[in-house]
Structure 1
Amino acid sequence: MVTYLVSEMHQSLPDAATHVNDWIGAAYVLTLLGAFLADAYFGRFLTIIIFSSIYLVGMILLTLSASIDSLRPPQCTKKPCPPSTNSQISFLYGALYLIALGTGGIKPCVSTFGADQFDESDKKESEKKYAFFNWFFFAINMGALLGITLMVYVQQEKGWTWGFGVPTIVLFASIVVLIVGFNKYRYQKPMGSAFTRFIQVIVVSISNHFRGVVVRNESVLYEMKTKESDIFGARKLPHTKQYRFLDKAAVVTDPETITNNKWKLCTVTQVEEFKSFIRILPVWGSTIALSISFAQLSTFFLTQANIMDRKLGPHFTIPAGSVPIFTALNGLLLVPTYERLIVPYLRTKTGHQRGITSLQRIGVGLFVSIFALMSAALIERMRRSHSNPKGLSIFWLFPQFFLVGTAEVFSYVGQLEFFYDEATDGTRSISSALFLSEIGIGSWLSSAIVKIVESATGGVEEGWIRNNLNNSKLDYFYWILTGINGVNFLVYLIVAWRYKGRNYGRGSVRDESNLIELDGQFKKENDTREFHSMAS
């Protein structure tokens, strides 16, 4: 899209990079909306179908933008190029943001819908689910590989109309394939709005705090007596000792007036659901910087490739858009190697089902990202100071693409695992969306950093980032990102070291047996079998 905006819509390179980052940012932040609708109203399958259709409309409009001459400015024959009109820009951005909206609905649901197909109570299926996220990431990279090789070739040889049109047709076929299998899937029914339940816990706990309510022990906390929780389709959650302030939302202030009004009294399960969501926020916040590095893959990394020697033999030139193949191949090769060789070896050393924990895997990715941006800075410095920058082989970019791809393999899959495992039954889609939203926020932060650097160093004509990279100082920008990744890694180490999962701090059987079970009356339930049911 950066190439399209510069070559076809006549935007400057910094503006095109900023617009693409903003567009990607919107797509991933909108995953929160998709997750909300999936969990509260539509379910994951129907949400995927609805938003895939929206995505399809956006792709059709994007194809029309590339096909109809009146939707683009005239071809540039001399500088300055004629700019795009407001109507041309509006049509293109309308198409792109329909695609972003479609992405927002699809992304948080696909991985969780896939994981839903495995029965956690079945040992064999449970073991297969451990490998699912690795192979899910493998499939994403396979799609990316086809996109940056086959589709880039089609676009280069046949033009932008075919370049956008073929994926549009394939997208339509994918929707049909998904629908055909509808009677084979396992479905999780919508459980209502988790965001509403979160707000209820906050409101009730604050209200009870100002009323002087004190939680002296778990015996004053309210839970349903029924086997299932009061959250439709969700299992009960045992009480934990973190964030005790929120326990005030489940305090029974008057046993004679037990109410189903959640704005006055919440259950232990509802409070614990909110606690589980709060626990993952520090991990989420301490991994956003990694997404800033990923944003460079689709912007400045490709811009570098576009002005380097891409010849492969005397008769073939590698398309600039195909250079991310270094990253995609990394994922395709590393995932099977990791799953088949590294995980079994690590499992014998650590005893952990996945070889290493999700948090450790994320940490590896964050650590590698530091060297990815460091290599990008060093190589760009060498390219810029070379006697013939345009004669430098594109293969010099291999280290930065390879290392970013390695960081992604470890961190992306680790985050998928972590946010799915730490989520409760009613927050799986929202937890997945929270992880994906950091990719969007990272893209926005990348745009902000570009603008700040551009403004602080003299603008698009004199600053570090100019239309002509040979006159720019892009390596300085990469060093800034290296520093950000380094500081972020140290912050993450502290967060991961202090992290306590949702199974941490549960009361003992003796403590939990005192948990009040109320069904119209105030009494103490001492049946530990009920606790074991809750804990399971």
Structure 2
Amino acid sequence: MAEAGMRNRGNREEYTMDGTANLKGSPFLRSKGGRWSACFFLIASEFLERIALYGIVPNLIVYLSDVLHKGTVAAANDVNNWNGTLLMTTLAGGCVADAYLGRYWAIFCFTVIDLLGMCSLTLSVSLPSLRPKPCISPNEDDCRDQTKGSQIAFFYCSLYVVAVGAGGRKANTTSLGADQFDEFEPKERAQKLSFFNWWSFAMFSGVLFACTVLLYIQDNISWLVGYIIATSALAFSLLSFMAGTPYYRHKKPHGSPFTRFAMVLVAATRKWKASTSIPSVELYELDSEQYLKEWKQRIDHTDSLKFLDRAAVKNGSDGPWRLCPVTQVEEAKRIIKLLPVFFVTLMPSVTIAHVLTLFIKQATTLDGSLGDHFSIPPASLISLFTVANLITIVFYDKLVVPMLSNKTGNPRGFTLLQKIGIGQAMHIVIMLVAFKTENWRLRAAKSHELPSTVFVLLPQFVLMGVAESFVGVGKLEFFYDQAPEGMKSVGSSLFWVSMGVGSFLSSILLSTVVEVTTRHGGISWIQDSLNESRLDYYYGLLAVLNAINFFAFLVVAKHFVYNRDVVLEGDEDEETAMLKMALAEGNEATSPSV
């Protein structure tokens, strides 16, 4: 036994133990890459991609209003619907990666699509035939009539190509980055805990650059120069990603996750009368060696969602749609377990959607002057959100986590749901602050006695950035961490899908409020002129909805049971260790050189 332990420990130092391989499919020699050396290229690529995307997103409502002459509600809804589509596309991107292409090739293909869309968008703001002419009429309806349908169609078509490319890429970049750390190696497992924080740091650093430098160029020099820089950043993002190819660890596609999930539901439904009492019935499961040959993790049976256990009951039936192994059943259970958390974390996504729409629209009504020669572009206020997010991430990772981990014994400091809960509670406070600020702004606009500086919006932008470092980063890590091994990209995409659904719900809520408040001759809370609106009432409504949602989140979090699959140092049995070692040695002997 001692000899086997020594051999296994020696094998851990040679090859990764989580089934990762190089691009040719050979077992991955640990010294050849992975870890932070591989993540450097991925993080640099993500930084540049954020510059490209946020060279468009923050100023999009301004472009739709000022160049395409859209009204406030229509422009806000268009931004929310486009952003929702982009984020919903992550689910398709995750499925394509997990089932067919793998994460590396999925990222490559979707980034190319994204680049084509960015080139098309750049043409739409540069060619006179594709860009609406400046309108000098004070009547907005006259300006809208001058805009050609073909110009609008080309712009929106380009925009949605970007949504498909950027969304498909999003689902896989975090998962590929997390794959660079071997869960079975204690040092790498510890490094992985910081990965999501630093990944988010890189993303928001790119956002910060875009929201300061690029937005200033678009507002004060030209839209064309700003879009050219954004497109160039995406091209360099692709080059950075490809430069790291020799260092990446890869996990093989496990087949369509939705097919495996559907098999369990169908098999359980077909045998709905079957008994699931254990040990009176035998549940079907593959042996450990078969899982290890495919570098998959076997999942032990749990007592939750017992209805699904019928899919693994042996009663003479055979075939994948009649009988599923226990591990496949447990995978389905884990996806279902994530759904309640998914639904009770939608409301913060609804709230944060307003940062890109109504928050910026508020800023356009205020004075952004800094001296006589410089004025802050309204969309650049997102940089306040970003700076607050970056500072909080670093503060949390370097100070809070070490302090709390010593007291709680949790290497993350807070549990993932506690971290999300802190951010959710902050959203209630943020909307109350936004309510008070907008009420003050309206009084200032009507009385002309109070200064109308744009910096009155600073608290709501800053607090939103702090909250997102908890709820956003926490959700991203939670859905990846708690997803089954073969569905990690889908797990990560659940975070982005929750943001996308939040954008769509924001659009629906905005339209519903307008419809309800205008009934029986009433005045809409949100109008093209914000000085005639009651946006403060709308923010108050959001505070109430966030409070109700927070209590629902507490109920779900209290009853959630975390998965624990990772084999800690010393936990692995001798048989499993020897099987892994033999498989790694056998694969090395029969596969191309590493």
TM-score, length basis structure 1: 0.91
Q: Who is 1:479 aligned against?
A: 540
Q: Who is 2:44 aligned against?
A: none
Specify which of 376, 379, 396 is matched with residue 434 of structure 2.
376
Q: How far is 1:532 from its partner?
A: 10
CA distance in 2, matches of 1:86, 1:296: 28
Conservation of the 8 A alpha-carbon contact between 1:192 and 1:232:
no
Q: Who is 1:523 aligned against?
A: none
CA distance in 2, matches of 1:2, 1:232: 49
Q: Who is 2:183 aligned against?
A: 120
Q: How far is 1:86 from its partner?
A: 2.2
Specify which of 345, 355, 359 is matched with residue 301 of structure 1.
359
Conservation of the 8 A alpha-carbon contact between 1:191 and 1:231:
no
Conservation of the 8 A alpha-carbon contact between 1:21 and 1:443:
yes
Conservation of the 8 A alpha-carbon contact between 2:80 and 2:506:
yes
Q: Who is 1:17 aligned against?
A: 76
SS in 2 for 1:143: helix
CA distance in 2, matches of 1:43, 1:376: 43
Aligned residue identity for 1:251: V
Residues 153-203 of structure 1 show CA distances to partners (whole Å, capped at 9, x for unaligned) of: 221232111111111011011101111211110001111001000100000
Q: How far is 1:464 from its partner?
A: 0.9
Specify which of 423, 447, 465 is matched with residue 483 of structure 2.
423
Aligned CA distance change for structure 1 residues 153 and 285 (closer, same or farther; 3 Å): same
Conservation of the 8 A alpha-carbon contact between 1:250 and 1:265:
yes
Aligned residue identity for 1:289: M
SS in 2 for 1:109: helix
CA distance in 1, matches of 2:448, 2:406: 52
Specify which of 183, 187, 195 is matched with residue 250 of structure 2.
187
Bigger mean CA offset, 384-393 vs 492-501: 384-393
CA distance in 1, matches of 2:442, 2:246: 58
Specify which of 389, 395, 406 is matched with residue 331 of structure 1.
389
4+ runs of 1 displaced by more than 4 Å? 528-534
1:127-206 equivalence runs, <5 A: 127-206=190-269
Conservation of the 8 A alpha-carbon contact between 1:279 and 1:501:
no
Aligned residue identity for 2:337: R
Specify which of 304, 319, 322 is matched with residue 264 of structure 1.
322
CA distance in 2, matches of 1:231, 1:366: 43
Specify which of 502, 514, 518 is matched with residue 458 of structure 1.
518
Q: Who is 2:127 aligned against?
A: 68
Conservation of the 8 A alpha-carbon contact between 1:10 and 1:81:
no
Q: Which segments of 5 or more consecutive residues in structure 2 lack a partner in the other structure?
A: 1-59, 566-572, 580-594
Q: How far is 1:229 from its partner?
A: 2.8
Aligned CA distance change for structure 1 residues 389 and 166 (closer, same or farther; 3 Å): farther
Q: How far is 1:82 from its partner?
A: 2.7
SS in 2 for 1:252: coil
1:222-371 equivalence runs, <5 A: 222-229=284-291, 232-254=294-316, 259=318, 261-371=319-429
Residues 392-440 of structure 1 show CA distances to partners (whole Å, capped at 9, x for unaligned) of: 1111111111111111000111112211111111010111111210101
CA distance in 2, matches of 1:166, 1:461: 46
Aligned CA distance change for structure 1 residues 142 and 389 (closer, same or farther; 3 Å): farther
1:428-507 equivalence runs, <5 A: 428-458=488-518, 462-503=523-564
Residues 269-296 of structure 1 show CA distances to partners (whole Å, capped at 9, x for unaligned) of: 0000101111111011100000011101
Q: How far is 1:352 from its partner?
A: 0.8
Aligned residue identity for 2:254: M
Conservation of the 8 A alpha-carbon contact between 2:288 and 2:298:
no
Aligned residue identity for 1:132: F
Bigger mean CA offset, 403-412 vs 157-166: 157-166
Bigger mean CA offset, 383-392 vs 432-441: 383-392
Task: Give the root-mean-square deviation of aligned CA atoms.
Answer: 2.0
Give the paired residue count.
505
Aligned residue identity for 2:490: I
CA distance in 2, matches of 1:177, 1:126: 25
Q: Who is 1:394 aligned against?
A: 454
SS in 2 for 1:48: helix
Q: How far is 1:231 from its partner?
A: 10
Conservation of the 8 A alpha-carbon contact between 1:40 and 1:193:
yes
Bigger mean CA offset, 449-458 vs 472-481: 449-458
SS in 2 for 1:15: helix
Conservation of the 8 A alpha-carbon contact between 2:368 and 2:376:
yes
TM-score, length basis structure 2: 0.82
Q: How far is 1:530 from its partner?
A: 6.7
Q: How far is 1:232 from its partner?
A: 4.5
Q: How far is 1:314 from its partner?
A: 3.2
Aligned CA distance change for structure 1 residues 182 and 390 (closer, same or farther; 3 Å): farther
Q: Which segments of 5 or more consecutive residues in structure 1 lack a partner in the other structure?
A: 505-527
Conservation of the 8 A alpha-carbon contact between 1:152 and 1:163:
yes
Aligned CA distance change for structure 1 residues 103 and 201 (closer, same or farther; 3 Å): same
CA distance in 2, matches of 1:371, 1:341: 24
Q: Who is 2:51 aligned against?
A: none
Q: How far is 1:501 from its partner?
A: 2.2
Conservation of the 8 A alpha-carbon contact between 1:308 and 1:391:
no
Q: Who is 2:465 aligned against?
A: 405
CA distance in 2, matches of 1:530, 1:389: 79
1:102 paired with 2:165, answer yes
Q: Who is 2:277 aligned against?
A: 216
Aligned residue identity for 1:21: N
Conservation of the 8 A alpha-carbon contact between 1:39 and 1:191:
yes
Aligned residue identity for 2:367: D
CA distance in 2, matches of 1:139, 1:248: 45
